[in-house]
């Protein structure tokens, strides 16, 4: 991956397969527009767009194994050339999205469960909404009390940036604030509460996220982004009587 200015792009365009830019530019390469500073939802949306565009493309189509071997031989000593070529061929025959989203990245259904899903929770304000949505994660050993306080403090200091779309909040903090295990809690509120967001208030659904690093949760988060564009999912959140109904819906969407 290279960082180049727009003026330098033509000089290196032959070496580039995909262009990520913060502005709209003219190029014959696949172009993805990204925010200068990307949050978790931005990353998940980019991942979803990338995978949708290249779902049927294999790395074998874009990587020439012989050319790759020539580069490797130039800078290293190869003990078993035939075995190396065989493994590279196998690696690059996997679909692009399987390489981008590695096996260690769990699906959404793998980082939530019935105990992390709460229905019709009462909360008097946004602080209590975060507190109650996170409490089950603490009880299940996913986070510490410090993490809950960090989420509340961050929202108090930085504003309602965790309100990511209409009626939906995604409270989260940094891994070092007290994450034990990657997880996501799903909480529906009995009555919507105001978080202070100009466009998306009031919040009715709280998805409390804990993640051990900056990448391992992206596959699950991309799934969540899809669900938040899915009208029937909201209908289910409103009428579900048991957490298992929501979990079953998530698993069904995963195929």
Three-state DSSP state, 86: helix
Question: DSSP assignment, residue 190?
Answer: E
Burial class (CB in 10 A: 0-12, 13-18, 19+), 226: middle
Which of these is catalytic: 167, 172, 197, 217? Answer: 172
Three-state DSSP state, 19: strand
Cβ neighbours of residue 92 under 8 Å, at least 6 residues apart? 58, 59, 60, 63, 65
Measured distance CA(97)–CA(163) in Å, rounded: 28
Query: Among this protein's residues, is 197 annotated catalytic?
Result: no
Pairing of β 163-165 and β 183-193: unpaired
List, by residue number, the catalytic residues. 172
């Amino acid at each position: 991956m290279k960082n180049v200015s727009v003026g330098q792009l033509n000089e290196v365009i032959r070496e580039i397969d995909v262009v990520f830019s913060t502005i709209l530019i003219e190029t014959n390469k696949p172009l993805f527009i990204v925010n200068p500073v990307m949050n978790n939802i931005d990353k998940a949306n980019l991942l979803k767009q990338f995978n949708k565009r290249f779902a049927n493309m294999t790395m074998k189509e874009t990587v020439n194994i012989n050319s790759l071997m020539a580069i490797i031989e130039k800078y290293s000593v190869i003990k078993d050339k035939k075995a190396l070529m065989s493994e590279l061929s196998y690696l690059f025959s996997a679909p692009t999205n399987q390489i981008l989203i590695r096996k260690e990245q769990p699906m959404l259904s793998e980082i939530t469960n019935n105990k992390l899903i709460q229905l019709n929770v009462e909360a008097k304000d946004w602080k209590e909404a975060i507190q109650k949505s996170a409490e089950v994660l603490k009880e299940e050993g996913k986070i510490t009390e410090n993490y809950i306080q960090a989420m509340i403090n961050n929202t108090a200091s930085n504003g309602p940036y965790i309100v990511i779309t209409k009626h939906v909040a995604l409270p989260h903090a940094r891994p070092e604030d007290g994450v034990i295990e990657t997880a996501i809690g799903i909480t529906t509120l009995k009555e919507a509460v105001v978080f202070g967001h100009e466009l998306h208030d009031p919040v009715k659904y709280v998805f409390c996220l804990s993640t051990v690093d900056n990448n391992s949760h992206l596959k699950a988060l991309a799934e969540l982004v899809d669900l938040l564009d899915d009208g029937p999912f909201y209908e289910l959140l409103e009428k579900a009587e048991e957490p298992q109904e929501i979990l079953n819906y998530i698993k069904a969407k995963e195929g």
